[in-house]
Chains A and B, each alone.
Chain A
């Protein structure tokens, strides 16, 4: 397969980012090859199963494309009896 790439003008105004972590890359420029690996092992105690804070759907959720799971039902709080 032949892949032909033509790079035209690239002018960017402003980029704001919170974090670049765990084998992530932010680059301004060209490159040939990247191999990025990240392994993460977390104990089950650090995962909060419930009860969770009841969050409403995000703003303009009805107009979001490709987010079929956005509904009130999926954001209801889960109560776990111990």
Chain B
């Protein structure tokens, strides 16, 4: 049986309309990718120029630690993997993708390690009364004029 150490990717045609927000489209091999994006998606009733800037530090989703990946340590859960490539190529005729966004990654080629992290906080900001009363407190009649 043949054994090729590295497989080569052959791609006939690719069509990508949009790649945005720290997305990667790469043709060729790579060693390490470390992609990270933080986003505050704010929908405001008032114009942005009339409201204050917003800060990532105000929201806990941007500072909470990532869940730990526990590596196997003993001989029963440790996995030794051996790969035999009978064919030296991967062939794809055509690829069509409408959108790549928020650390989305398109790779044609081989790689070693890739790490990607996306944190998105969605906010709806109304200038009128709050739609729901806060838990254990009085519902204010309106938001402070310049507060967040």
Contacts and interface: CB of A to CB of B under 8 A. Distances in A.
A25 B97 contact: no
Q: Chain B's interface: helix, strand, loop or mixed, by majority?
A: strand
Given A1-B76, A8-B86, A29-B109, A37 B116 contact: yes
B73 to A, nearest CB: 13
Interface residues of B, number: 63
A26 to B, nearest CB: 5
A43 B42 CA distance: 11
A29 B7 contact: yes
Contacts, number: 187
B91 A11 contact: yes
B119 to A, nearest CB: 5
A68 to B, nearest CB: 31
A19 B95 CA distance: 12
A72 interface: no
B83 A25 contact: no
B82 A3 contact: yes
Interface string B107-148: 111111111111111111000000110000000000000000
Given A25-B105, A42-B122, A14 B93 contact: yes
18 contacts: A1-B76, A4-B82, A13-B94, A22-B118, A23-B117, A26-B106, A26-B107, A28-B95, A29-B29, A31-B111, A32-B113, A37-B67, A37-B116, A38-B117, A41-B121, A41-B122, A42-B122, A44-B132
Interface of A: 1-46
Interface of B: 1, 6-7, 9, 11, 23, 29, 35, 59, 61, 64, 66-67, 69, 76-87, 90-124, 131-132
